[in-house]
């Protein structure tokens, strides 16, 4: 058993008794109530999911295992000469809640190298898909295709005890995550670079390998490290995390579950917003002849979009009520590495104007930028002008969080998800009852 799996085994054992005690002794404790507005409004804020891997505070933003993004970056071992931590060390941290030593990190690096080899049939399948298909469709199909190799599905068929589910889920999740850089880069090079895939370089780490296979020189490896880490997890209620958890709760394996998560990530209100931001910026720049708009021009552009009934992509959030610290982390990178980039200046100008306009517009509960407002600008700077691809990069990062959660879901024996639906007539009836009682 590898060192991470060994460590997890102990942690899952302890946590399992903790959760069992909690549900047995305090299972009927009321922690929330549900309003009609929440019921018809996307279950917003209803407390009915559990994860210890990340927590999203509306004011503070995300914490991974209790650490903010800057604290996370500071706590984890870094690839020599690089500014951001190994993705492999972050995986260890997400799964265990402990920052690994350099040796422990290198053990994951070497474990993932053994797991990273992508079956040939995945490339064969990708090559049969029409090239003008969206890359998120290709990505999701590639992930789903690997289901035939699922160890969880195989072990389930041959019979295993519930307490053992997490072990084969760990194997599937680790295999799946380790293969994603090559799959993502292959789709990119096949679709956007005249079908010129680049062979993996075994001495590189997860993110360095991705940069190499994308064909983009330094510091793109660090862009990838930062990007994968900040996009990894945002607690359990967002669409990609929730879809993965929901599908996994039927004991579908990691491949089925993550493919479903990716399909949710591909929605324009979720991960696809990063490509929408670039599309919006490009159409705005067309109007100004490529010049960064003045404040007045930007205000006009934002109002024009709102008045035509569209959202400002990259702004607003279902939970956050301040600037997304993931946006801030990317902004710090831009300040250091690409301060004169016109698109960076564009998003800064937008930031000066959009929150006030959105407040005046009066609809969104959060007028501040989210993670997607700046990520595409960095990709564009490093030569990825094919903005349809941005959500695939988000998806590689997202795999870390949702797969870590899926392993823990099976470790703690979380149940099949099955909320209850009601009819509109029932809601009307309860509303009238309540009104009568108040009167």
Q: How far is the CB of 359 from ligand HAX (least distance, A)?
A: 11
By the rule CB under 6 A, 370 interacts with ligand HAX: yes
Closest-CA residue to 328 (of 111, 62, 134, 90): 62
By the rule CB under 6 A, 260 interacts with ligand HAX: no
Q: How far is the CB of 49 from ligand HAX (least distance, A)?
A: 16
Q: What string of DSSP letters covers 134-152?
A: -HHHHHHHHHHHGGGG-HH
Buried b (16+ CB within 10 A) or exposed e, 252-267: bbbbbbbbbbbbbbbe
Among 273, 298, 353, 396, binds ligand HAX (CB under 6 A): 273
d(CA 96, CA 90): 10
Q: Annotated catalytic residue: which of 205, 221, 263, 372?
A: 372
Strand partners, 57: 61
Structure-token pair, residue 73:
């970056």
Closest-CA residue to 400 (of 206, 185, 120, 260): 206
* Measured CA distances, 54 to 98, 320, 332 (Å): 13, 14, 22
d(CA 188, CA 385): 11
Residue nearest to ligand HAX (CB): 316
Q: Residue 300, exposed/middle/buried by CB under 10 A (0-12, 13-18, 19+)?
A: middle
Nearer to ligand HAX among residue 105 and residue 366 (C-beta): 366
By the rule CB under 6 A, 397 interacts with ligand HAX: no
Q: How far is the CB of 225 from ligand HAX (least distance, A)?
A: 19
By the rule CB under 6 A, 271 interacts with ligand HAX: yes
Q: Which stretch binds ligand HAX (CB under 6 A): 104-112, 335-343, 362-370, 382-390?
A: 362-370
Cβ neighbours of residue 415 closer than 8 Å, sequence gap 6 or more: 249
Nearer to ligand HAX among residue 270 and residue 381 (C-beta): 270
By the rule CB under 6 A, 245 interacts with ligand HAX: no
By the rule CB under 6 A, 316 interacts with ligand HAX: yes
Nearer to ligand HAX among residue 28 and residue 59 (C-beta): 59
Among 155, 238, 259, 328, binds ligand HAX (CB under 6 A): 238
Nearer to ligand HAX among residue 359 and residue 385 (C-beta): 359
Among 313, 374, 376, 411, binds ligand HAX (CB under 6 A): 313
By the rule CB under 6 A, 368 interacts with ligand HAX: no
* Per-residue contact string for residues 195-234; x = within reach of ligand HAX by CB under 6 A: ----------------------------------------
Instruction: Give catalytic status of residue 270 as yes or no.
Output: yes
By the rule CB under 6 A, 401 interacts with ligand HAX: no
Structure-token pair, residue 362:
């009066």
Q: What string of DSSP letters covers 98-145?
A: SPPPHHHHHHHHHHHHHH-PPPHHHHHHHHHS-TTS-HHHHHHHHHHH
Instruction: Give catalytic status of residue 212 as yes or no.
Output: no
The overall longest dimension of the chain from CA atoms, in Å, is 73
Q: What string of DSSP letters covers 28-48?
A: T-------HHHHHTTTTT---
By the rule CB under 6 A, 364 interacts with ligand HAX: yes
Nearer to ligand HAX among residue 175 and residue 370 (C-beta): 370
Q: Residue 413, exposed/middle/buried by CB under 10 A (0-12, 13-18, 19+)?
A: middle
Q: Annotated catalytic residue: which of 212, 242, 245, 317?
A: 317
Coil, helix or strand at residue 404: helix
Instruction: Give catalytic status of residue 317 as yes or no.
Output: yes
By the rule CB under 6 A, 270 interacts with ligand HAX: yes
Q: Annotated catalytic residue: which of 212, 242, 270, 381?
A: 270
Cβ neighbours of residue 233 closer than 8 Å, sequence gap 6 or more: 53, 54, 62, 64, 94, 241, 398, 400, 401, 402, 404, 405
* Per-residue contact string for residues 177-196; x = within reach of ligand HAX by CB under 6 A: --------------------
d(CA 261, CA 361): 32
Structural Rg of the chain based on CA atoms: 22
Interface positions, 277-306, toward ligand HAX (CB under 6 A) = 306
Size of the site for ligand HAX (CB under 6 A): 21
Coil, helix or strand at residue 194: coil
Q: Which stretch binds ligand HAX (CB under 6 A): 82-90, 198-206, 369-377, 419-427?
A: 369-377
Nearer to ligand HAX among residue 273 and residue 347 (C-beta): 273
By the rule CB under 6 A, 314 interacts with ligand HAX: yes
By the rule CB under 6 A, 326 interacts with ligand HAX: no
Q: How far is the CB of 355 from ligand HAX (least distance, A)?
A: 10
By the rule CB under 6 A, 366 interacts with ligand HAX: yes
Q: Which residues are known catalytic residues?
A: 270, 317, 372
Q: Which residues bind ligand HAX (CB under 6 A)?
A: 238, 269-271, 273, 306, 311-318, 363-366, 370-372
């Amino acid at each position: 058993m590898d060192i991470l799996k060994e460590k997890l085994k102990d942690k899952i054992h302890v946590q399992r008794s903790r959760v069992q005690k909690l549900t047995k002794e305090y299972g009927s404790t009321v922690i929330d109530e549900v309003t009609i507005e929440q019921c018809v409004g996307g279950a917003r804020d209803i407390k009915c999911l559990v994860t210890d891997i990340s927590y999203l505070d509306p004011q503070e933003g995300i914490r991974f295992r209790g650490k903010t993004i800057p604290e996370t970056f500071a706590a984890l071992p870094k690839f020599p000469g690089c500014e951001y931590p190994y993705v492999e060390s972050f995986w260890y941290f997400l799964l265990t809640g402990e920052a690994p030593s350099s040796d422990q990190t290198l053990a994951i690096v070497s474990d993932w190298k053994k797991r990273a080899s992508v079956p040939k049939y995945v490339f064969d399948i990708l090559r049969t898909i029409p090239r003008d298909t969206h890359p998120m469709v290709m990505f999701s199909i590639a992930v789903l295709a690997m289901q035939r190799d699922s160890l969880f599905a195989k072990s389930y068929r041959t019979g295993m005890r519930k307490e053992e589910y997490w072990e084969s889920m760990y194997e599937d999740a680790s295999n799946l995550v380790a293969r994603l850089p090559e799959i993502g880069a292959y789709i990119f090079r096949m679709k956007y670079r005249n079908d010129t895939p680049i062979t993996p370089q075994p001495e590189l780490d997860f993110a360095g390998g991705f940069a190499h296979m994308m064909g983009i020189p330094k510091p793109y490896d660090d862009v990838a490290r930062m990007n994968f880490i900040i996009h990894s997890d945002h607690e359990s209620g967002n669409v990609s995390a929730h879809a993965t958890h929901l599908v996994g709760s039927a004991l579908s394996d990691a491949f089925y579950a993550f493919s479903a998560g990716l399909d949710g990530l591909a929605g324009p209100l979720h991960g696809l917003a990063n490509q929408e931001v670039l599309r919006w910026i490009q159409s705005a720049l067309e109007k100004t002849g490529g010049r960064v708009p003045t404040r007045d021009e930007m205000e006009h552009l934002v109002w024009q979009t709102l008045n035509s009934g569209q959202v400002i992509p990259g702004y607003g959030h279902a939970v956050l009520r301040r600037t997304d610290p993931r946006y801030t982390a990317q902004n710090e990178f831009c300040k250091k590495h690409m301060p004169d980039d016109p698109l960076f200046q564009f998003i800064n100008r937008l930031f000066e104007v959009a929150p006030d306009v959105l407040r005046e517009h009066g609809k969104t509960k959060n007028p501040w930028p989210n993670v997607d407002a700046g990520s595409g600008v960095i990709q564009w700077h490093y030569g990825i002008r094919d903005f349809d691809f941005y959500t695939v990069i988000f998806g590689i990062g997202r795999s870390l969080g949702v797969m870590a959660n899926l392993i823990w879901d099976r470790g703690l024996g979380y149940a099949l998800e099955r909320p209850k639906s009601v009819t509109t007539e029932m809601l009307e009836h309860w509303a009238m009852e309540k009104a009568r009682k108040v009167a």
